[in-house]
Structure 1
Amino acid sequence: MKSYPGKSTFIVRSSEIDYNGNATMPALVSYMQEAAWENTRNLGISMYDLLERGLTWVLQRMRVEMFRYPSHGETIVVETWASGRERVFLHRDFRIYSLEGELLGQATSVWLVMDVVKRQMVSVPDFITDIEVVPDKEPLPFAKGKLPQPEQPTYTQQMPVRWHDIDLNRHVTNTRYLQWILDTLPTEIMEKQLREVDIIYKAESILGDTVLSEAGKGEAETILLHKLTSQETGKELVQARTEWRS
């Protein structure tokens, strides 16, 4: 079987916008993941297909760049395709378009396969690697390399893990981590509009945990560095870098 790009259409809903009437970054990431789900379902390797084998998909990294945020009621088209493999890392790209064909944003992501019982990453099984990756678009540059740590956090906040933070994998859903990173920041930063986010998921957090969110200045005025840590285990859960419009 060959893997081809898929297209999914979404309408921006009122529950997914900020007070300027534009879709939020977590909402856009949710659209992209939903499009990925549809594409993998058509290939027979969706999360449900993996769960039947005691496995699941886990997002390891995602880098998103937005050129224009769609507004409430606007219809968008999310195109996604498998863009390559590196050992246990599977790459998937996304592009977001308006109905008129305007490129609104793009993203590249890295996925792993996890054993749901052992909670450990495993080698990519044959039923996935047997699918030939045939992207018909130029792949975006892979998200690679380490992210710098915030040396002196300027903003901190504690986030208790509650029932609605948990997803099908029984851990905090990745869009919630992204939301917590942004919720830690003051209004004057959020009003500048997020241009780019690069986020690495390092460990899972479960119901009853408390997450410490920290953010500090990056290498430029428009850049912030972020870290999420479990207060129960001390594990670093997430690293991120955000870039804002000046």
Structure 2
Amino acid sequence: MYSFDSRVRYSEVDSKGYIKMNSILDYFQDCSSFQAEEVEVGLDYMAEKHMAWVLTCWQVEFKRCPSFGEKITVSTWPYDFKGFFGYRNYTLKGEGEELLACANSVWVLLDLESGKPVRVLQEMADAYEFCPRLPMEHTSRKVALPKEMEAKEPFPVHKYHIDTNQHVNNGKYICMAQEYLPQGFQTGKMKAEYRKAAVYGDMIYPYARQEAGKITVSLADEQGSPYAVIELEERK
């Protein structure tokens, strides 16, 4: 397991002073990146191998959103590698070990030159110490699209959406999806499925559907083929 301590920063909170959902996801992504650097299979190693870990899906449970200035601990660990895939958990805890949020994620290892999945190298797997999988609900990796969805105003992918893999960062899709949440909606669970990569200059065509206690957002191309599908369930 890899962990680091932090405090909720002003730049990470919403208009009411609570940490934003996408800020929690950024902490999770940063934590796994830090762990990769710690065990020497980080950005430079991956660049030399012409490989990248690409998130295919994750599900996140938000127990309580900490407020500005609260002390937090972010942790992550892999619990399995199978073929092309890596499986990883995350937790966000407050003082006294209070569980604030947790996540399960599935990643695929890509060869950046061919664009195809490759089997996890043994030396990569050996670099990590596995920990048991979190006892959280593990649902399907797919997010079902409702039959009828409302089309929203299209917008372009901007430079600030792009990460070192030269495509839209996972967390940025969540920022996009949050735009379609009604006022006062507090997310208790989130599922995201990433189907293909959007790059700088692409246009995003959003579609949304609100049902009882749940909102589904498809961020698609001009033909309606999704880059990402996000399901947001209201906290009960």
* Both structures adopt the same fold (TM-score exceeding 0.5): yes
Q: 1:141 to 1:159 in 2, by over 3 A?
A: same
Q: 1:240 to 1:108 in 2, by over 3 A?
A: same
> Retained in 2: the 8 A contact 1:93–1:140?
no
Q: Deviations over 1:93-138 (max 9, x none)?
A: 0111112211111101111111223333222223223346431564
Matches within 5 A, 1:104-123: 104-123=100-119
How many residues get paired? 236
Overall identity of the aligned pairs, in % = 25
Matches within 5 A, 1:170-189: 170-187=166-183
Which stretch of the first structure deviates more once superposed, 83-92 or 118-127?
A: 118-127
> Retained in 1: the 8 A contact 2:92–2:99?
yes
Task: Give 1:222's aligned amino acid.
Answer: G
Residue 148 of structure 1 and its aligned partner are, at CA, apart by 1.4
SS at match of 1:157: coil
SS at match of 1:130: helix
Matches within 5 A, 1:54-133: 54-131=50-127, 133=129
Partner of 2:234: 244
> Retained in 2: the 8 A contact 1:70–1:104?
yes
Q: Deviations over 1:182-211 (max 9, x none)?
A: 113332xxx121111010111001111110
CA distance in 2, matches of 1:209, 1:137: 37
> Retained in 2: the 8 A contact 1:213–1:226?
yes
| CA RMSD of superposed structures (Å) | 1.9
SS at match of 2:165: coil
Q: 1:20 to 1:152 in 2, by over 3 A?
A: same
SS at match of 1:20: coil
Identify the match of residue 18 of structure 1 among 14, 20, 27.
Answer: 14
- Output the TM-score relative to the length of structure 1: 0.88
Partner of 1:213: 206
- Output the TM-score relative to the length of structure 2: 0.92
Tell whether 2:152 aligns with 1:161: no
- Gap regions ≥5 residues in structure 1: none
> Retained in 1: the 8 A contact 2:180–2:208?
yes
Tell whether 2:213 aligns with 1:222: yes
CA distance in 2, matches of 1:132, 1:99: 27
CA distance in 2, matches of 1:109, 1:145: 9
Residue 74 of structure 1 and its aligned partner are, at CA, apart by 1.3
Which stretch of the first structure deviates more once superposed, 195-204 or 117-126?
A: 117-126
